[in-house]
Structure 1
Amino acid sequence: MTLGEALAAARGRIDRLDGRLLLQYATGCSHTDLLARPETPVLAPALAQYLEWVERRAAGEPLAYLVGEAEFRGRVFQVSPDVLIPRPETEVLIELALQRLQAWQAAQESTAAAEQPAGRRPRIVDLGTGSGIVAISLALEFPLAEVVAVDLSPDALAVARNNAGRLGARVDFRAGSWFAPLAGERFDLIVSNPPYIAAGDPHLALNGLPFEPQLALTDQDEGGNGLACIREIVAAAPGYLTTAGCLLFEHGYDQGAASRNLLTAAGFKAAQTHPDLAGIDRVSVGHR
Structure 2
Amino acid sequence: MIKELYTAALGMIPQQMKLEITANNLSNANTIGFKKERLFEREIIEAKLNLLNNSGRAEPTDIPTQTYTDFSFGSFEKTNNPLDLAIENQNAFFEVEDDQGNRFLTRAGNFTLNRDGSISAKDGKFLVADTGRLNILREFTVDTSSIENTIASNIKVSERGEVYLNKALIGRIQLVHVENPESLEKVSGVYFKPTENTQQRYLGTEETVIRQGWIENSNVNPIEEMVSLIELQRLFDIGAKIIQTQDQTLDQSIRIGRFV
TM-score (norm 2): 0.25
Larger Rg: 2
Higher strand share: 2
Higher helix share: 1
TM-score (norm 1): 0.23
Compare relative contact order (CA 8 Å, sep 6+) and give the higher one, 1 or 2: 2
